[in-house]
Structure 1
Amino acid sequence: MQLVKIASLNSNNFNSALKYLAQSDLDLAQILETLGNPPRWQREPGFPTLLQIILEQQVSLAAAKAVYQRLCNLVQPLTPENFLSLDEIQLKTIGFSRQKISYGRALSEAIINQQINLDWLADQEETIIRTQLKQIKGIGDWTIDNYLLMALQHWDVFPKGDLAVAIAVQKIKNLPTRPTPIQLELIAEAWRPWRAIATQILWHYYLNSKSTKLLHLSPRPSLQ
């Protein structure tokens, strides 16, 4: 059963979620003990954030951030109309691939043509949000998961197709192979109703995986 968002995630329930997850999963508890609490990944809902997440598809966060920053330097404010005013040469010059240009234009046109209303969508249940956004070329579950998690602050969304999550789970659970999305979903059942916060703990671990602190994390027995 999907958790319906009845209130925005805030500092109090974020901290409560961290305590719950630490009690529910010793591996997550060890990350928190070693690295401290993860940052709260928060972005403003709307077109710029959704476009930024599209840029982050299948590339490093650093590369996507650089392209997004160049875009923001080129056009202000970043609106669907202003994005469509840029030609292919301008977008390629700042780092857009032909595919990402196509996706960005599809999103812009959907908003301008009132195919979707992101302000209205923000207050809807997850199933409605997914159905609406999946109608747009280039937007699939990974993009929607990250938008739900970071922009709309849903508590229980879980990006089962996220590579960083898979790598982190493999390491902390001492698994012989990288878990599949289906395997990740099964593991994440223990983290309900706070799977989004568990994801942020895993991202925290992944981003700090080269830290010398993590050398002191003792591997736990692999899952059978």
Structure 2
Amino acid sequence: MTEELEFLIKKDKVLKQIHDDLGSPYIPNRPEGFETLCKLIIEQQVSLESAKACFKNLETNIGIIVPENILKYSVEELRTFSISKQKASYLIALSNAVIEKSLNIEKLSSFNDEEIRSQLIKVKGIGNWTIDIYLMFCLQTKDIIPIGDIAVVNTIKKLYNCNTKQEIIQISDNWRPYRSMATYLLWHYYLAKRNRKPIIY
């Protein structure tokens, strides 16, 4: 068992019960870079099943997911590849930021979390949820609670009998400095209750 799990299990009986019942959670690990940010944009506010299908359709039609290939297409053309109008505009905005060098994705890992957040948030279509997931999955940041994630929020509300954002934040403060691992446990519970497995692509 990892240090993070041991810490959380000793400190929080709800998380301990999840671990006792379901075992250790799956820890996502995605490569840093442009393609992952594109996936996260596509994953915003939809199921992972739907996002995976959209991404694969995009990949089939444009080839390697790099800024130059996305910028060959207009928003309307990208929509024909199962990408929504809004997300198509976000993918183009990200591609332009990389091409124009206002965002250097390769250097992000050399900055601290807040510096990374301040750079990514400038790109149209990249909000706190996308940044939180990028930090967790790609940079393995240990102390993130993605308040914008519906599955996490609803699971906390259910298991801890709370309703407000402030209550959720107060509960999650108890998991510092390992809120990311707590999030993985909550996702583990959420998927298990729905007989679903993590989607990897």
Q: Report the TM-score when normalising by structure 2.
A: 0.92
Q: How far is 1:76 from its partner?
A: 2.8
- The yes-or-no answer on 1:22 pairing with 2:13 is no
Contact preservation (8 Å) 1:133, 1:139: yes
- The yes-or-no answer on 1:198 pairing with 2:182 is yes
Match of 1:184 among 146, 150, 168: 168
Q: How far is 1:191 from its partner?
A: 0.5
2 CA distance for matches of 1:181 and 1:140? Answer: 17
* 1:53-94: CA deviation from partner (whole Å, max 9, x where unpaired): 111111111111110111122233210111111333442122
Contact preservation (8 Å) 1:67, 1:94: yes
Contact preservation (8 Å) 1:133, 1:144: yes
Provide the residue aligned with 2:199 in structure 1. Answer: none
* 1:13-59: CA deviation from partner (whole Å, max 9, x where unpaired): x7211111111111001111111111111111111111111111111
2 CA distance for matches of 1:43 and 1:150? Answer: 5
Percentage of matched positions with identical amino acids: 41
Unaligned runs of 5+ in 1: 1-13, 212-224
Match of 1:134 among 117, 121, 128: 121
Contact preservation (8 Å) 1:134, 1:140: yes
Q: Report the TM-score when normalising by structure 1.
A: 0.83
1 CA distance for matches of 2:10 and 2:185? Answer: 14
Provide the residue aligned with 1:37 in structure 2. Answer: 24
2 CA distance for matches of 1:131 and 1:91? Answer: 28
Report the secondary structure of 1:74's partner residue. Answer: helix
* Cα-Cα RMSD: 1.4
* 1:128-147: CA deviation from partner (whole Å, max 9, x where unpaired): 11111111111111111111
Report the secondary structure of 1:71's partner residue. Answer: helix
* 1:75-121: CA deviation from partner (whole Å, max 9, x where unpaired): 33210111111333442122111100110000000000000101111
Question: Runs ≥4 in structure 1, deviation > 4 angstroms?
Answer: none
- The yes-or-no answer on 1:125 pairing with 2:112 is yes
* 1:138-197: CA deviation from partner (whole Å, max 9, x where unpaired): 111111111111111100011112110111112222x1x5x3333221110110110011
Provide the residue aligned with 1:68 in structure 2. Answer: 55
In the alignment, residue 95 of structure 1 is paired with which amino acid? S
Match of 2:95 among 83, 94, 108: 108
Q: How far is 1:200 from its partner?
A: 0.7
2 CA distance for matches of 1:152 and 1:15? Answer: 18
Provide the residue aligned with 1:220 in structure 2. Answer: none
Aligned residues: 195
- The yes-or-no answer on 1:153 pairing with 2:140 is yes
In the alignment, residue 173 of structure 2 is paired with which amino acid? E
Report the secondary structure of 2:131's partner residue. Answer: helix
